[in-house]
Amino acid sequence: MESLLTESSSFSSSSASSSSSPSLLSSLPQRNDDDGDEVIKVPHEIMGFPLGFVIDAGCSAVKVLYRSLEDYKDGKLLKPSDSGLLHLRYFNMEDVEKIIDFLKNNCDVISTGNGSECDRVTWYMTGLTTQYIKKDLEENFEIKCYLFSETAALKRALSDLDTLNLGTYDCQLSAVEYVREYIKMLFVAIKQWEATGENAFSWAKDNEAGKAAAAASAAADSGGKNNSENGGTCGRKGDGKKEGEDENVDEEPRAIASGPDGDEDGEGTTKRETVDNGQNDQPTSDGNVCPVVQLITESDLQGWADKYLKPTDRRLATPSLILLFGSSAKFLMLDEKLKMRTVGHMPMSGKTLCGLAEELLGEKDFDKFMKMAEDGDAERVNTMAGDLRCEDHKDEDWYAAFPDNLHVFDLGKLSSGTANGKGKYSRNDLAAGLLSYQCKMIGKFAYLNSRALNVEDVYICGSPLRYQLARKMVETSFFLDSFTNCLIKGRITRLHFIQHPGFLVGLGLWLTNLDLYDESKQRQ
């Protein structure tokens, strides 16, 4: 039954900033250019790559990283700066043929390493679509291209997150608030189910955390803390604030870094030191209150999130699970020995979402699809508990325990085979429903894999996660599983989104080419 009790999917994309953990290079902020470039500030030595660009052209999005003529000439900064400036830019798939002209006009190429054909320097690029422009790249820049492994490039980037000055986003408090209201609703429902003889949730009454959560939920209800006051969306129909009204989101990065030493595969990620974040003192069986029970009556959500959801230090945690969600989706395990290996794949990926958007909505531009989803309401395409309820049925049975706006089936209103018939929805609503469904799968697969591998930290990267709306949906789905299972196992599994999520593979590729350049200089 818990699998049916998943979140409502109407989300807002508005944000507000709050303080975050300082990054290793906190004096080097990132910026966004008006022309669509993201710019990150990195150490000067990273900018010495002679070719000046790398391409990561997957099956759904094309990412280009380059040294811009706006900032450089012949590898030298035009204006003094305490850091190097690396430009990151997305291209639509249909514009892949325009990339070469763009680079000719905008990239500061120091040297291509050209000579006779047999002496041309080989540089790494990656992505399946790069095959289609590989020949033109080689002819126009007089180089040789070798298509490098995306997974190997990701490993290279993760081993140098400190050098790249990357961090993670703080969790979105509205997702935490939603799950809190859901858990309170769950225990109210369990109490009502018990009155009908339902015992499917015996763990809730036999488990100390379950008892405490039920008591805390009852106390919160008696104290007048209803959904409307808390801004939740798991209450009665019409409760809660308007979307985005109470959003509290920190878009500043939290630094996660790794030490300089690597293993034999070159994956120099450092094992996290053991730091007590409070969970070690919160078992569910000895009378102490577990973190989620604290959450139910917590007035300081930011303080609670800082204590239980932030990394315990600034290094990449080990063991941990890493999900690369791009055109394809794969899980990588970082173990205590600092080795990274592929442990699984998801059948649904970014390419799946692109295909559905084009086939069902006729939209090929992913940015436009995301704008549609932001303007839509997934509740108009998803089946909610209220859609299943007969107005003439007044019995106080277990169905009555569900609030009207509790999500039950994804995309259920697309079917006419229901008591109330097919729903009425717009193209924007359908976009919101498709995105919600995909993001729930990401959150669900990520959590289940973390349980299977017994890790408590999950990192997610990939182009779709650059959108705040997508991150919020994934986060809510993940927290639903993490928090409810915390009531049983006593510990929270944490979720982290790495900043600039679509460019990690490209950044690893840049560093790998820089390694090639250093090796060639040593040989000479």
Q: Which of 187-201, 270-284, 290-304 has the lowest mean pLDDT?
A: 270-284
Cα–Cα distance measured from residue 511 to residue 517, given in angstroms and rounded to the nearest whole number: 10
Q: Quick check: 350 and 159 in contact, CB under 8 A?
A: no
Cis (ω within 30 of 0) for the bond into 43?
A: no
Write down the residue that tokens 């030595």 correspond to. 45
pLDDT tens for 444-497 read: 999 999 999 999 999 999 999 999 999 999 999 999 999 999 988 778 999 999
pLDDT tens for 201-236 read: 665 666 665 666 667 666 766 654 444 333 334 443
Cα–Cα distance measured from residue 383 to residue 372, given in angstroms and rounded to the nearest whole number: 20
Question: Residue 440: its pLDDT value, please?
Answer: 95
Q: Amino acid identity, residue 473?
A: M
pLDDT tens for 317-345 read: 889 999 999 888 899 998 877 788 999 99
Q: How confident is the model at residue 382 (pLDDT cuts 50, 70, 90)?
A: very high
Question: Residue 249: its pLDDT value, please?
Answer: 39
Question: Residue 79: its pLDDT value, please?
Answer: 96
Q: End-to-end alpha-carbon separation of the chain, Å?
A: 66
Cα–Cα distance measured from residue 161 to residue 165, given in angstroms and rounded to the nearest whole number: 6
**Distances in whole angstroms, Cα of residue 51 to Cα of each of 66, 85, 354:** 9, 15, 32
Q: How confident is the model at residue 378 (pLDDT cuts 50, 70, 90)?
A: very high
Q: Which of 12-21, 153-162, 186-195, 258-267 has the lowest mean pLDDT?
A: 12-21
Q: Which of 52-66, 335-349, 428-442 has the lowest mean pLDDT?
A: 335-349
Residue 151 or residue 266, greater confidence: 151
Percent of the chain predicted with pLDDT > 70 = 72
Q: Residue 12: pLDDT above 90? A: no
pLDDT tens for 102-153 read: 999 999 998 765 544 445 678 999 998 899 899 999 989 989 999 999 989 9
Question: Residue 200: its pLDDT value, please?
Answer: 58
* Average of per-residue pLDDT across 163-185: 89
Question: Residue 225: its pLDDT value, please?
Answer: 42
Q: Which fold, 33-166+506-523?
A: Nucleotidyltransferase; domain 5 (3.30.420)
Same-fold call for 2-19+167-499 versus 33-166+506-523: yes
- Does domain 2-19+167-499 match CATH 3.40.50.10950? no
Q: Where are the domains of the chain?
A: 2-19+167-499, 33-166+506-523
The per-residue b/e assignment along 82-119, b for 16 or more CB within 10 angstroms, e otherwise, is ebbbbbbbbbebeebeebbeebeebbbbbebbeeeeee
**Distances in whole angstroms, Cα of residue 52 to Cα of each of 55, 59, 66, 75, 429:** 11, 23, 5, 8, 42
Tokens of 422: 């097919």
Question: Residue 223: its pLDDT value, please?
Answer: 56
Cα–Cα distance measured from residue 374 to residue 17, given in angstroms and rounded to the nearest whole number: 20
Question: Residue 385: its pLDDT value, please?
Answer: 85
Mean pLDDT, the chain, rounded, equals 78
DSSP 170: P
Question: Residue 401: its pLDDT value, please?
Answer: 72
pTM score, whole prediction = 0.79
* Average of per-residue pLDDT across 54-79: 94
Residues belonging to the chain: 524
Q: Residue 375: pLDDT above 50? A: yes
Percent of the chain predicted with pLDDT > 90 = 44
Paired with 207 in beta bridges are: none
